[in-house]
Amino acid sequence: MIATLAVLVATAAHAAEAPIGEPAVLQEWLSHAATLKSWSANFTQTRHLQALAQPLTSPGRVWFQAPDRFRWELGQPAQSLVLRDGPDLWLLSPALHRAEFVSLTNAAPGPLRDALALLDTGFPQDAATFRRQYKLLGVQTNAAVGPPPSEPTYTFRLQPRAPGANRFLPEMNVIVTVASYQLAATELRFADGSRLRNDFTAAVQNPELTGGLFRTNLDAAWKITSAGAAKKQP
């Protein structure tokens, strides 16, 4: 009963903040996303580049823990990793034993910080912050593609409000299921015409995750650099 009341209160609070004319489905998705504590999924990443006739695809795995912990693994075995633990961000290349540390707290305003802020677009924890960061360009309803268990989805077409971000990324799409507002895909559309899409499968909502999943545990074989901040020890 207490958990049910908490969800109802959160939903009412988000609805009260909503601008006049905002689609109800966006309000409902933001309310659902705010209740998410953790999430994991497999994904297929597809990159469409202007210079290539065929897109590039790669499998991956992602973990999220509210409010701001992420682990993205691209490739099997992982060829690149992105780890975020609060304000600390690591970009890892395991095959090369190279790691770059970025402090989101100390990073100067600009394209780098704006780009890093896009990492959590699919997991908004606060509706008011989300509305300050993104402009809604439109909502599309999409029929199910393929046999069951595929589902109909909503596509939220968004534009980053930060000038440094929307110059190179004029549009990004968040795709969620109609029935349960589960994250199904994200798509970034860049100013040069290229696109990057992640399609998620085998998603698990609120799994038990350990803190070690979001730490680097690097040894002396790794070369560590930093961007815009003092180097932090792993």
Mean per-residue pLDDT of the chain: 84
232, part of any domain: no
Residues near 201 by Cβ (< 8 Å), separated by ≥ 6? 41, 42, 43, 44
16, part of any domain: yes
Please answer whether residues 56 and 46 qualify as being in contact, where contact means their C-beta atoms are separated by less than 8 angstroms: yes
Report how far residue 186's alpha carbon sits from residue 205's, in angstroms, rounded to the nearest whole number.
17
Q: How confident is the model at residue 27 (pLDDT cuts 50, 70, 90)?
A: very high
pLDDT of residue 50: 85
Instruction: For residue 177, count CB atoms less than 10 angstroms from its CB and return exposed for 0-12, middle for 13-18, buried for 19 or more.
Output: middle
85, part of any domain: yes
pLDDT at 65 over 80: yes
Task: Return the CATH number at 14.
Answer: 2.50.20.10
Instruction: For residue 99, count CB atoms less than 10 angstroms from its CB and return exposed for 0-12, middle for 13-18, buried for 19 or more.
Output: buried
pLDDT of residue 226: 84
97, part of any domain: yes
Give the number of C-alpha atoms closer than 13 A to the C-alpha of residue 119, restricted to the C-beta side: 27
Does the predicted TM-score (pTM) go above 0.85?
Answer: no
Please answer whether residues 196 and 60 qualify as being in contact, where contact means their C-beta atoms are separated by less than 8 angstroms: no
- Domain count across the chain: 1
Please answer whether residues 60 and 74 qualify as being in contact, where contact means their C-beta atoms are separated by less than 8 angstroms: yes
161, part of any domain: yes
Lowest-pLDDT choice from 7-16, 24-33, 50-59, 73-82? 7-16
SS3 50: coil
234, part of any domain: no
| pLDDT tens, position by position, 151-175 | 999 999 999 998 878 888 899 999 9
135, part of any domain: yes
How much of the chain exceeds pLDDT 90, in percent?
57
Q: How confident is the model at residue 55 (pLDDT cuts 50, 70, 90)?
A: very high
Report how far residue 131's alpha carbon sits from residue 20's, in angstroms, rounded to the nearest whole number.
13
Q: Residue 107 gets which letter from DSSP?
A: P
Report how far residue 164's alpha carbon sits from residue 114's, in angstroms, rounded to the nearest whole number.
6
pLDDT of residue 166: 83
pLDDT at 109 over 80: no
73, part of any domain: yes
Q: How far is CA 81 from CA 76, 98, 99, in A?
A: 11, 11, 9
Quick one: average pLDDT of 185-195? 92
- Tell me which of 226 and 131 has the higher pLDDT: 131
Quick one: average pLDDT of 14-33? 79
| pLDDT tens, position by position, 192-201 | 999 999 999 9
Report how far residue 86's alpha carbon sits from residue 89's, in angstroms, rounded to the nearest whole number.
8
pLDDT of residue 185: 95
Please answer whether residues 27 and 17 qualify as being in contact, where contact means their C-beta atoms are separated by less than 8 angstroms: no
Q: Residue 25 gets which letter from DSSP?
A: H
Domain span including residue 11: 2-227
